[in-house]
Amino acid sequence: MKPHAARAGRGSGSAGQTDGRDGRDRARRGPLGCPAREGGQREGHGHHPHPRHSAPARAAPAARSVRAPAILREWIGLNPAEELSRRFGQPVAVANDPDMGGRGEHAFGAARSIDDFLYIKASHGIGAGLALAGRTYHGSSGIAGAIGHTRLEGATNLCRCGNPGCLETVVSITEVRRQLAHVLPAERPADQTPGDPPSLADLVTRPAAARVITDAGRTLGLVLADLVNCLNPAAIILGGELGAAGEPLAEGVRESINRYAQPASAKAVTITASTLQQRSSLLGAVATAIEQSTVG
């Protein structure tokens, strides 16, 4: 059976492994392997590759269901792993998008051979996959890394979470594209259809667009500077739709970290755009499915 993977989001879980704390269990997990989660465990399928699914909502592993009321409202109360398993006819595990993005970058992309790094998925929401000491850190209930809801001083836009001034009200892909449309209205290619926006990688070749993207990076960097102080990562990988902007975004993040993080921590961290771009989470799911197919 070939490993089968589907995109996955801010839930958590994996299957087919034990949750012991000794070196053998860590070795069985492999680099950044996820400890077994109740939400993803399927008894009797440990030898199978597990399809993995991620979606941009939070799934509490203990409850196995989507809970976050602000996103994917139609999913609330559903158990994605159970539902997808029923539809695919195969065992399915659910994991967070940023966690899988980090897993993908560690296996195939910009974080190979790095044990301490942050993968930032910056799209409509902003989440962080936290790879610490070679393990993915999920938090006590599987929803760590929700940096998009960090409050920004002076920001007042109402967030979908109900609070004003969250990071993702300022630098989400939606907001950045709105700003780009404002500064580049006359530069949009004539053959561009309304439903097919130009890629950020193309837009940032224009100076005005690069300024907008770098400003977004500076704002994102304000929040990441605090994380750098707290976690002392070796790398921050910028992914998601906004991450596709590449170096102008990384430049802004780097400026804020160099300005606001403690100098020794700022010096230790490398800021780069994702090399897998929007395939990070998918490839992380594939890597995890392959890993789990070989340890059962």
Return the number of the residue (25 or 226) whose C-beta is nearest Zn ion. 226
Tell the smallest beta-carbon distance from residue 156 to Zn ion (Å). 12
Tell the smallest beta-carbon distance from residue 170 to Zn ion (Å). 11
Return the number of the residue (157 or 262) whose C-beta is nearest Zn ion. 157
Tell the smallest beta-carbon distance from residue 159 to Zn ion (Å). 3
Element at 126 (helix H, strand E) = strand 126-132
Tell the smallest beta-carbon distance from residue 154 to Zn ion (Å). 15
Which token pair is 287? 């890597």
Return the number of the residue (203 or 223) whose C-beta is nearest Zn ion. 223
In the chain, the N- to C-terminal Cα span, in Å, equals 14
**Which residues have a Cβ under 8 Å from the Cβ of 131 and sit 6 or more positions away?**
32, 102, 106, 111, 114, 115, 116, 117, 118, 119, 137
What are the DSSP calls for 219-242, one per residue?
A: HHHHHHHHHHHHH--SEEEEEHHH
Return the number of the residue (34 or 170) whose C-beta is nearest Zn ion. 170
Buried b (16+ CB within 10 A) or exposed e, 139-170: eeebbbbbbbbbebeeeeeebbbeeebbbbbb
Distance CA 88, CA 190 (A): 42
Tell the smallest beta-carbon distance from residue 256 to Zn ion (Å). 20
Return the number of the residue (126 or 238) whose C-beta is nearest Zn ion. 126
Tell the smallest beta-carbon distance from residue 269 to Zn ion (Å). 25
List of residues contacting Zn ion (CB under 5 A): 149, 159, 161, 163, 166
Tell the smallest beta-carbon distance from residue 103 to Zn ion (Å). 25
**Which residues have a Cβ under 8 Å from the Cβ of 196 and sit 6 or more positions away?**
none
Return the number of the residue (163 or 294) whose C-beta is nearest Zn ion. 163
Of 269, 276, 20, 290, residue with least CA distance to 131 = 269
Tell the smallest beta-carbon distance from residue 218 to Zn ion (Å). 20
Q: In what order do the strands lie in the sheet with 270-273?
A: 135-137, 126-132, 117-122, 235-239, 270-273
8 Å CB contact between 251 and 214: yes
8 Å CB contact between 39 and 64: yes
Return the number of the residue (60 or 161) whose C-beta is nearest Zn ion. 161
Return the number of the residue (138 or 149) whose C-beta is nearest Zn ion. 149
Residue 19 neighbours by CB distance under 10 Å: 12
Distance CA 23, CA 27 (A): 6
